[in-house]
Structure 1
Amino acid sequence: MLKVLLLLPGLLCAAPEWSVWRGPASEGNYDHETTWKHDWLPTGPKTLWQTKVHTGYSGIAVSEGRAYTIGNSEGEDLIQCLNIDTGKIIWNEKYPQDLVPKYNPGGPNAPPIIEGKWLYTLSKQGLVSCLDKASGKPKWRNDLATTAMAPMPTWGFASCPVLVGERLFLNVNESGVALDKETGKLLWNSPPSPCGYAAAVPFTCRDRDAAAIFGHKSMHVVSQASGKVLWQVDWPTKYGENSADPLIIDNKLYLSSWWGQGAALFDPNKDSTKPIWTNKEFQNHIQPPVLFEGHLYGFDGPVHKKKIKGFLRCVNFATGKTVWSKPDLKGSLILSNGKLLILSNDGSIIAAKAQSEEYQELARHSGLGRRTWSPPVLHQGRLYVRDADGTATCLDLR
């Protein structure tokens, strides 16, 4: 049986009360969410609230009756805490930060994450913060542009922070950095260099605790303890745009990028960098696919290019062969109990069956904003989405 590696230790038994980037095991699977339904009214699922959260692509994290996201307004980033029943702002924490628009509205890219009472964030220009999630009071901050000598990549830092034990991992510099989660102190660094945009992915490689860091020009598998490179494969793309998180499946490493690269599967436990398979028509631009019953479901094509056609594709994981394609669809998706919840890049939420026979749509609702590039978050039967122009929406799917 194919198995996606559970990435976050301690989450094997049950889902945590707080939401985790791409689900409890960080692989896009929300099978613990059993109360949501797709038999929506013609007007769509009930909208509980919509709130202005300012410009940016940061996703949403949820914990103990509160939702958190980040936006930019008038030269400042705002880390915002919202009531999940009303959408009203409970607190916000501000700090100076440039909007940095570049072929898009700009604003923060990385979603916040939560562990226990602490909220962790990464700004577009490299400021890492740890805050008390109840009050917004900062515990520590670390400006990686200074402490790690990290140059900002073309579209700004974008990787979701990832916690494993006492370490906080970030895709910064050539092959990542690690911070002490309690103090923010830099534990190890890699050579100063533009980085990729994907989150670090913890896993076991060569019997060692490792992390996959999708860099600007290469995929690096590094030691969690020291940052030493254990395995590496060249993966050059235009502008270094390696954005979709790698996947670890049955101890194999899956990679995909746009700009003609496509997808490939590797075994980083071997010295060889020869791919097990490749698929040039499965170019995941920003979000990675999900795995269900031996098949990958994900998007081919750039989310921002209207003139370039996009596809939702089903790919056989064992062979890398495309099984079916649904044209004119791109965005992000998550998996829950044999169904895909798709958030298209133009603000439609779609429920579809995760099946290898054919694409089968179950429900669709439009009007959730423009440039909806961050994946939706499903938490306790509610779906949280946001768009780059600064509108956060909470839908009740129960």
Structure 2
Amino acid sequence: MNPIPRLLVALCALFFLTLPAAAESGGLPPMPEPVTSFGATIDGGWLYVYGGNTGKAHEFNKECVKGDFFRLQMPSGKTWESLPGGLSLLSCSLVTYEGKVIRIGGMTARNEKGAKDDLLSTDEVMRFDPATGKWELLTPLPQPRSSGDAAILDHTIYVGGGWNLSGKGGGGANTHWYDTLLTFDLKAPEKGWQSQSQPFQRRALAAVAHAGRIWFIGGIDNHDELARNVDWFDPATGEWGKGPDLPDDTMAGFGVAACEQGGKLYATPFSGKVLALSADGQQWQEVTKLNPPRFFHRLLPLPDGRLAAVGGSNHQGHVGELELISLEAKTSAAAPAASSAPADPPVAKGASTGASVQQPSEPGGAAWPQWRGPNRDGIAPETGWRKDWPADGPPKLWSVQVGMGLSAPVVADGRLIAQGNDGNGTDTIFAFDAATGNELWHFSLPCKSNAYGMEIVPNGPAATPTISGGRVFALTREGDFVCLDVSNGKLAWQKHLKDIGGRRPVYGYAQSPLVADGRVFLDIGAKPGRVGSTAALDATTGELKWKAGSGEAGYSSARMFERDGHQFVVMLKGEALDVFDPADGHVLWSYHITGRDYTNSLTPVFVGHRILVSNSSEPFARLLDWDLAAEPNVRVAWKNQQFALLFNNPILYRDCLFAFNEKRRSVTEFTCLNAETGEAHWVTDTVPIGTFILSDDHWIFLTREGEVVLAPASVTELKPAARFKALDGKCYATPTLANGRLFVRDNAGTLNAYDLRVPGR
């Protein structure tokens, strides 16, 4: 092997002269045999550890390279359990999928102690089933590989970095450094391993799945230069990119460990610093320090929100103690979670007590309290508002800045609630006087600003808050869910969806909370093979009432409806439309529909009891019919190939469905369909694509370019009556109409109010 320069060993000695006393391990037992360069993973509350090296630095032989396999219940286990081992390996990787542990690659030592190194990388891939206690062979790697790392995203394994040692010393001509990324789809194993180029040659690095990407952090390169580099791969686009380098500390990123916890990326290099990637993805921020520091260890996320540092070594030798790292009090990115209302909940920022918070100047009136209006159908029930707009548009009442996002404003009892992100890692929920625009209160909480990392994907919150029962319910892109007192912004309770088993969708959470009958219904998502992707919380306390269903979370918002005296909730999740009983979550029936990155975004639309489903990936939009019986007999009433829905939602009007067809994204096709047959009456490009609502037999459009267009609603044509430029930025949010006032916002955060009231009324 190519040894690291001896100067680095001297630097290690200097670094560890001032080590503090050892940290507490939370009462956990030390490792059965302290090791470095091992495989480890967490699944189902169990920590699994395989193989590793018990020898001194640069000592590799049959005696010190291990093939033992252990597990420990986390975070309070008392005894390590010995499991069936296998090939003696160091530098292997462990990942988990559907409750099973998968071991990938690594290298073994064929030499006796004291003999010249004879190190051989392996192509072996094995899967262990804890239920049976047995290993089984999976498809081997295309070539032997060790000292790289692996991560799993959705159902695909990614293996990057590393080298191939072919024995007899393992250096020079006997070493091949890899510049390829390997992938293996566990849902399609017959396809085998796939290979593509990676823009680096490094080993002793860490791989982590985070924010829909695979991150490769630190290591040492093929020129024996210690690396601080951070590279990422985006499976959705096939593109590579770069993150910020690790800090320039001793040993850089050699032997670094990393993991994701609570939607954030953490890394611990040789310095002992626990680093968190900033919300904007531009820098590493020190959160705390390991005590003692270590490298060639593993950093793993615990179900309770902490991190576990396992194994590794430093200048003083191998580290056998596990260290548990609490993040809540040490980083601004962690927000306190509560399962019930605290005795003295925090007060919203900008208000010292409830009494000091301003009240709206015009309480009461019509409400638009949730996503798409009172009934979640895009229809405002009020009538008699002004339709003879001046050429430059109706009077602007006020304008405020709420931060970037796609979240639409909601209105109830004279208050307007809006949500946005400041671009510096903070989401804020605002309450304004709907009549004047004066701020009444605001509540802020940490949330990273970069939701996905591609410019085409807008950032900031995508979910619209819900006002119900004197409370505001709001969800961040990363899964923090808060319940606030609408009168003063005080926190009633808070949850993180990951803490109740949720799985963040690729582009972040976008659903607008459905609050009904004292409960909050949420599509939280779940890992493949797990049950519990739909959750119901008590609206008053936040207590989890039930979890049910399966599959990835989608980007749709649920609706409640009644049929023949029975209540149901319908939810278009990431992989299917589910119709379930709100009392216990029992799924009455499910209809499979999905798309790339599980982009089911349509809020369900009802035509009687029938339900429309569509996305931009499936060939057809479908209207589903079903029977109210033990066997629901779900069937397709009709299908249409040119009614693809992604960023806008249809409205049912006079037995017709109206929406922009998004099958061809560069073309505007506002379409009118016969709701009974699915046949198109007409298609027009008169109004550019955007969002729209219906009120008093008129459409109000907000185009992507910020133009507001008014047109009479008709089943025969679309003929605009007035239009004006309301906003300068891109617009994806839906307009809001309440009490004769129109509210529109753009993605950058400008929120404007316009007066549609008839003068003198």
Instruction: Note the alpha carbon deviations across 1:263-292, whole angstroms, 9 max, x for none.
Output: 210113263333100111011212321111
Instruction: Note the alpha carbon deviations across 1:41-81, whole angstroms, 9 max, x for none.
Output: 11111111111111111110112322111111111111111
Shift of 1:237: 1.1
Shift of 1:380: 0.5
User: Which is greater in Rg?
Assistant: 2
- One-letter amino acid of the counterpart of residue 178, structure 1: A
414, 426, 430: which one aligns with 1:76? 426
Distance 1:326 1:183 in 2: 49
Q: Tell whether the 8 Å contact from 1:349 to 1:364 is kept in structure 2 after alignment.
A: yes
CA RMSD of aligned residues (A): 2.0
- Aligned partner of 1:312 in structure 2 is 670
489, 498, 506: which one aligns with 1:136? 489
Shift of 1:295: 0.8
Shift of 1:192: 6.3
Is 1:112 the counterpart of 2:465? The answer is yes
Moved more, 60-69 or 388-397: 60-69
Distance 1:235 1:370 in 2: 33
- Aligned partner of 1:150 in structure 2 is 502
Q: Tell whether the 8 Å contact from 1:374 to 1:387 is kept in structure 2 after alignment.
A: yes
- Aligned partner of 1:3 in structure 2 is none
- Aligned partner of 2:572 in structure 1 is 214
Q: 1:29-178 maps to which residues of 2 (within 5 A)?
A: 29-30=379-380, 32-73=381-422, 74-102=424-452, 103-147=456-500, 149-173=501-525, 176-178=534-536
674, 693, 704: which one aligns with 1:345? 704
Distance 2:735 2:620 in 1: 24
352, 374, 383: which one aligns with 2:733? 374
Q: Tell whether the 8 Å contact from 1:172 to 1:195 is kept in structure 2 after alignment.
A: yes
CA change 1:239–1:66 in 2 (3 A) is: same
Q: Tell whether the 8 Å contact from 2:367 to 2:412 is kept in structure 1 after alignment.
A: yes
Shift of 1:99: 1.3
- Aligned partner of 1:24 in structure 2 is 374
What SS is found at the alignment partner of 1:259?
A: coil
Distance 1:230 1:160 in 2: 23
Distance 2:627 2:689 in 1: 33
Distance 1:239 1:373 in 2: 19
- Aligned partner of 1:335 in structure 2 is 694
- One-letter amino acid of the counterpart of residue 287, structure 1: N
What SS is found at the alignment partner of 2:643?
A: coil
Moved more, 222-231 or 171-180: 171-180
Distance 2:703 2:367 in 1: 27
What SS is found at the alignment partner of 2:400?
A: strand
Shift of 1:15: 8.5
Q: Tell whether the 8 Å contact from 1:16 to 1:24 is kept in structure 2 after alignment.
A: no
Distance 2:550 2:561 in 1: 24
What SS is found at the alignment partner of 2:710?
A: strand
CA change 1:240–1:79 in 2 (3 A) is: same
Q: Tell whether the 8 Å contact from 2:601 to 2:647 is kept in structure 1 after alignment.
A: yes
Distance 1:166 1:22 in 2: 20
**Runs of 5+ in structure 2 lacking a partner?**
1-363, 527-532
Distance 2:487 2:724 in 1: 33
Shift of 1:208: 3.6
Q: Tell whether the 8 Å contact from 1:370 to 1:388 is kept in structure 2 after alignment.
A: yes
Distance 2:640 2:728 in 1: 32
- One-letter amino acid of the counterpart of residue 155, structure 1: Y
Distance 2:617 2:582 in 1: 30
- Aligned partner of 1:273 in structure 2 is 634
Moved more, 221-230 or 264-273: 264-273
Distance 1:58 1:319 in 2: 33
Shift of 1:184: 0.7
- Aligned partner of 2:204 in structure 1 is none
654, 662, 665: which one aligns with 1:293? 654
Q: Tell whether the 8 Å contact from 2:369 to 2:468 is kept in structure 1 after alignment.
A: no
CA change 1:15–1:395 in 2 (3 A) is: closer
Does 1 or 2 have the higher relative contact order (CA < 8 Å, sep 6+)? 1
- Aligned partner of 1:181 in structure 2 is 539
**Runs of 5+ in structure 1 lacking a partner?**
1-13
Distance 1:104 1:337 in 2: 34
Moved more, 315-324 or 256-265: 256-265
Q: Tell whether the 8 Å contact from 1:151 to 1:193 is kept in structure 2 after alignment.
A: no
- One-letter amino acid of the counterpart of residue 172, structure 1: I
- One-letter amino acid of the counterpart of residue 47, structure 1: K
Q: Tell whether the 8 Å contact from 2:702 to 2:709 is kept in structure 1 after alignment.
A: yes
- One-letter amino acid of the counterpart of residue 514, structure 2: V
Instruction: Note the alpha carbon deviations across 1:3-52, whole angstroms, 9 max, x for none.
Output: xxxxxxxxxxx98646333222221121x311322211111111111111
CA change 1:98–1:193 in 2 (3 A) is: farther
- Aligned partner of 1:389 in structure 2 is 748
Instruction: Note the alpha carbon deviations across 1:346-384, whole angstroms, 9 max, x for none.
Output: 111111122121221111112423221111110000011
612, 615, 637: which one aligns with 1:254? 612
Distance 2:373 2:436 in 1: 24
Of all paired residues, the percent bearing the same amino acid is: 30
Q: TM-score, normalised by structure 2?
A: 0.48
Distance 1:171 1:386 in 2: 26
- Aligned partner of 1:355 in structure 2 is 714
- Aligned partner of 1:11 in structure 2 is none
Distance 1:186 1:336 in 2: 37
Instruction: Note the alpha carbon deviations across 1:106-138, whole angstroms, 9 max, x for none.
Output: 111111111132111111111111101121101
CA change 1:255–1:19 in 2 (3 A) is: same
- One-letter amino acid of the counterpart of residue 340, structure 1: W
Distance 1:195 1:261 in 2: 21
Distance 1:287 1:190 in 2: 28
- One-letter amino acid of the counterpart of residue 185, structure 1: E
Shift of 1:216: 0.8
Aligned length: 380
- One-letter amino acid of the counterpart of residue 158, structure 1: A
- One-letter amino acid of the counterpart of residue 124, structure 1: R
Distance 1:152 1:322 in 2: 37
